Structure 1
Amino acid sequence: MPRVISLINLKGGVGKTTLTVALGEFFSLWHGLKVLIIDTDPQTNATVALMSEKEWKRRNVKGQTLLGIFKDEVDKYQVFSPQEAIVKKVSNIGGGIDNLHLLPSSLDLIEFQEEFLYRRHDYEHVFRPSLLKERLEEVLHCYDLVLIDCPPDLGFITRNALYMSDYYLIPVIPDILSTYGIPQIINRVEKLKKKTGIGLEPLGIVVSKFRVQSNVHKSQLRLLRAQAGQGGYRRVFDTVIPENNQSAAVMDFNHSFAGLEDKYGYKRPYEEYKALAEEVLAYV
């Protein structure tokens, strides 16, 4: 079975999706691993960074996105098929990476959550944290690594992601706002572990969008590293991802790139993503 890593932060805009995509691409191309990215965020940022919107729309209409897993439980009729829903050879590098696959998310998850959350007692089977793992069990053995891009909350979809994970990784900008929710994440994970008996462990914190000229960023990074043991997140990775003005362009599927160096720059942040991928693999 693959090693499964959820990437989570309660604040948006911390570089979580960019990091998920970059790690998936480096694991696939640089290390030759077969990787599945699962986009559980209704904003679908990882989805549209890795596949065309036209193809996403076609699959969404057919019920072959993440939403289909939960909708089938409500409708009591199976439409979702892991083999059909998972998109193969995704990325805007080289027309797609052979061993990088994607389970796309859906914008319609937002409406789904709003419609059924207030009627949760009638649909308890839909909100069980094991559902995502149950529906993907038959295909997970095909992969070496699974990366799950989580929404910025601790709702039932995030709990599903955490339930099927071996590790969780917390990307942060080293400022007060994006680090504020770390204790809440750790506490909720511990509660989920006690309730379900899963063996989920913190992988650590990845500092992203780091501004070397910022005294706030430098002091917050020192504080995060000093508190790693007592803070419950185990470690802060040595590799720090710098702020990059080209991050929006690399996440645009309509921009095509010849390779990793072309996409992520021939020095930065290419070297940082390469080093981080090696660091992560050393701990999983």
Structure 2
Amino acid sequence: MTKIIAILNHKGGVGKTTTTINLAAALQQKKKRVLAIDMDGQANLTESFGLSIEEEKTVYGAMKGEYPLPLVKAENGISIVPACLDLSAAESELINEPGRELILKGLIARLLDTQKFDYILIDCPPSLGLLTLNALTAADYLIIPVQAQFLAMRGMAKITNVIEIVRERLNPNLNIGGIVITQFDKRKTLNKNVSEIINDSFCDKVFKTVIRDNVALAEAPIKGKNIFEYNKNSNGAKDYMSLAQEVLKLK
């Protein structure tokens, strides 16, 4: 049974793409078949896998109904549905399409008729627009990366509100898989305080794994590599492998 996980926070710079890439890589190391879908018009996930943002076929054309979801296999064996800079235009271009929130769900269903994956990870844009709604409507679980920073909590109420609306109107099967605290430095009192607030507020919805602030995580995408290819002994690699072990336990 394929598990579809959307990785979302409408605040930028919290580690969504980093989490998508490295969680995908960790799950693959656990012998799982993994597909990563780039739904962000900035196409950072696509570039981080070492692909061009000018791929001939992307999720943009698939969303417009021009062809099925195009799969590109990275050198490490992970399959990717690439994005392009034009994807940002999809929000306005699809606004009058009937069932516009269900387009991605339909594309994934057709893909799974012919391909087998254990996990599909969707890297969402930093907004709560139509592309994100498509991801939430297709997903079984939501992972929310949250920076250990003071302003991190401010957006959480809005995200939980949107999740409730999506559950009610579009996807009753959507669950919060977990909140993962990123860019954590235990030497900083602020980081520890924010971490405590998040744990107190969301209790069992917070992953035990914390992603530590680690320079290797920032360097790896520049080389078109995941953290395991770049530095398998780094704290980043250890943390994402630990996160993957928790994700494997999601029912």
Normalising by structure 1, we get a TM-score of 0.82
Structure 2 match to 1:160: 134
Structure 2 match to 1:130: 102
What amino acid sits opposite 2:12 in the alignment?
G
Instruction: Assess, with a 3 A threshold, how the Cα gap between structure 1 residues 34 and 218 changes in structure 2: closer, same or farther.
Output: same
What is the deviation of 1:112?
3.9
Q: How does 1:8-23 map onto structure 2 within 5 Å?
A: 8-23=8-23
Residue 66, structure 1, aligned to residue 59, structure 2: yes
Equivalent-residue separation in structure 2 for 1:19 and 1:212 (angstroms): 20
Instruction: Assess, with a 3 A threshold, how the Cα gap between structure 1 residues 124 and 111 changes in structure 2: closer, same or farther.
Output: closer
Contact 2:72 2:82 in 1 (8 A): yes
Structure 2 match to 1:75: none
Instruction: Assess, with a 3 A threshold, how the Cα gap between structure 1 residues 142 and 87 changes in structure 2: closer, same or farther.
Output: same
Query: Over residues 138-163 of structure 1, what are the superposed CA-to-partner deviations in whole Å (9 max), with x where a residue is unaligned?
Result: 22351000000001111111010011
Greater strand percent: which structure? 2
Structure 1 match to 2:176: 202
What is the deviation of 1:193?
1.2
What amino acid sits opposite 1:195 in the alignment?
R
Equivalent-residue separation in structure 1 for 2:234 and 2:196 (angstroms): 25
- Choose which of 207, 214, 219 in structure 2 pairs with 1:237: 207
- Choose which of 49, 62, 83 in structure 2 pairs with 1:105: 83
What is the deviation of 1:197?
4.4
- Runs of 4+ off more than 3 Å: none
Equivalent-residue separation in structure 2 for 1:4 and 1:111 (angstroms): 25
Structure 1 match to 2:45: 46
Equivalent-residue separation in structure 2 for 1:243 and 1:134 (angstroms): 37
Stretches of structure 2 lacking an aligned partner (at least 5 in a row): none
What amino acid sits opposite 2:97 in the alignment?
E
Contact 1:42 1:105 in 2 (8 A): yes
Larger Rg: 1
Amino-acid identity (%): 31
Contact 1:86 1:103 in 2 (8 A): yes
- Choose which of 113, 116, 119 in structure 1 pairs with 2:93: 116
Query: Over residues 31-64 of structure 1, what are the superposed CA-to-partner deviations in whole Å (9 max), with x where a residue is unaligned?
Result: 10000001101011111111332xx4242xxxx2
Stretches of structure 1 lacking an aligned partner (at least 5 in a row): 73-78, 91-95
Equivalent-residue separation in structure 2 for 1:161 and 1:111 (angstroms): 16
Where 1:68 maps in the other structure, the secondary structure is helix
Normalising by structure 2, we get a TM-score of 0.92
Cα RMSD over matched residues?
Answer: 1.9
What is the deviation of 1:198?
2.8
Residue 277, structure 1, aligned to residue 249, structure 2: no
Instruction: Assess, with a 3 A threshold, how the Cα gap between structure 1 residues 180 and 57 changes in structure 2: closer, same or farther.
Output: same
Instruction: Assess, with a 3 A threshold, how the Cα gap between structure 1 residues 210 and 80 changes in structure 2: closer, same or farther.
Output: same
Instruction: Assess, with a 3 A threshold, how the Cα gap between structure 1 residues 97 and 211 changes in structure 2: closer, same or farther.
Output: same
The number of equivalent residue pairs is 249
What is the deviation of 1:267?
3.9
Residue 264, structure 1, aligned to residue 236, structure 2: no
What amino acid sits opposite 2:41 in the alignment?
P
What amino acid sits opposite 1:103 in the alignment?
V
